[in-house]
Amino acid sequence: MKNLRPIAIYLPQYHPIPENDRWWGKGFTEWTNVKKSKPLYKGHNQPNIPHHSIGYYNLSDPEVLVKQALLAKEFGIYGFAFYHYWFNGKQLLNLPVDNFLEYKMPDFPFCLFWANETWSRRWLGEEKEILIKQTYSEADDCNHINWLVKVFKDQRYLKVGNRPVFIIYRPLDFPDITRTLNLFTDRCKNSELEKPYFIASNSHNGNIDLRNLGFDNILNFEPQLGVLPDFMDDRKRLKKLLRNIRLSVFNSKLKIYDYSEAKELMLNREISYPYFPCSFINWDNTPRRAINGIVIKNNSPVIFKKYFKKSIELLKKMNFKDDENFIFINSWNEWAEGNYLEPDIKNGYQYLEAVKETLALPINE
């Protein structure tokens, strides 16, 4: 396949910020939850510990991102999609991208993925105990695109043709997303930029074809936890017990699923539009939600490789133009969700190696 571009989604929450200090305690980063996590059943792989070659890094140091980009490039990752947090003109966790832009390094393609969710003390997108609210207005759209234009002009910014790629996590949360996209387009044209290449994530949109609202394409985000039975039910249940026993866990409360079974459920969702595939590595958000978390177990580099190859085959069937051949990997470094490509002490570099090896394979029609 020509110009296949694997893009790893990147979490920037590895440096302290005043807001997290206030909400979660002094010095809070993603590592805080990762380090304190404990196993909840026999064989539960917690805590996840980064490989000694990367350690518990701090993104306040611009050199960390340089090393990460070099590592990603070595194993076939084309670029990063940085989660971008914008709340009515206020940015959070923006230091890594700020450093990326200021120091002009690393020389690595990137784009922004606006994670436009309200932040709360829950970690599943529920608006309970709100920390900072996501709001929308035309005035804020103007301020936002005025800032984005400066980023879009960076020579490393990911493009389709000459169009800067911009991804939105929850497109249907906007009062009028088409108006926002049109405003962004007009401002870009006034700034001698082409219309952005808008990608909608279908994280919470089901089978809605968001191209009808002005998007150019759709990211079939993974994991789609909504396909998992009882994924929001934190109570003890007999059916949970029966399912967990099958996975060698005697517990009626924990929400545990098999990776291959979960992947098949996600792949068999009804989707009537073309899309960019996404492959998730693993999932275990018990470092964030403890006993109420979701664990998807029984993955391995070999199984991941099988499904990553399927994703590439799916992409080929979409028949996109060469410069649209994006395949997303979730994620580079969501450690508190057990969802990361970066090397750890359990698997070393095997997931990265699985990516590189898969990219070298012949792809079936």
Q: CB atoms < 10 A from the CB of 64, how many?
A: 18
Distance, in Å, from the CA atom of 113 to the CA atom of 170, rounded to the nearest integer, reads 10
Alpha carbon distances (Å) from 36 to 18, 31, 41, 310: 21, 9, 16, 35
Q: Which of 30-34, 118-122, 241-245, 333-337 comes out lowest in average pLDDT?
A: 118-122
Contact indicator for 137, 176 with CB cutoff of 8 Å: no
Instruction: Name the pLDDT band for 295 (thresholds 50, 70, 90).
Output: very high
- C-alpha angle 298-301-302 in degrees, rounded to nearest 5: 90
Alpha carbon distances (Å) from 315 to 42, 198, 200, 205: 38, 18, 16, 20
Instruction: Name the pLDDT band for 310 (thresholds 50, 70, 90).
Output: very high
Contact indicator for 54, 65 with CB cutoff of 8 Å: no
pLDDT by residue (tens digit) across 254-279? 999 999 999 999 999 999 999 999 99
pLDDT of residue 283: 98
pLDDT of residue 364: 65
Helices (H) and strands (E) in the chain, counts: 11, 17
Q: Which of 95-104, 119-128, 232-241, 289-298 comes out lowest in average pLDDT?
A: 119-128
Distance, in Å, from the CA atom of 318 to the CA atom of 276, rounded to the nearest integer, reads 8
Domains of the chain and any CATH numbers: 5-227+260-289+299-359 (3.20.20.80)
Determine how β-strand 5-10 pairs with β-strand 326-330. Answer: parallel
pLDDT by residue (tens digit) across 60-97? 999 999 999 999 999 999 999 999 999 999 999 999 99
pLDDT by residue (tens digit) across 202-232? 998 888 999 999 999 999 999 999 999 999 9
DSSP code at position 192: T
Q: What's the whole-number mean pLDDT along residues 4-11?
A: 98
pTM: 0.97
pLDDT by residue (tens digit) across 20-65? 999 999 999 999 999 999 999 999 999 999 999 999 999 999 999 9
Distance, in Å, from the CA atom of 166 to the CA atom of 84, rounded to the nearest integer, reads 10
pLDDT by residue (tens digit) across 109-161? 999 999 999 999 875 556 578 999 999 999 999 999 999 999 999 999 999 99
> Mean pLDDT of all residues in the chain?
95
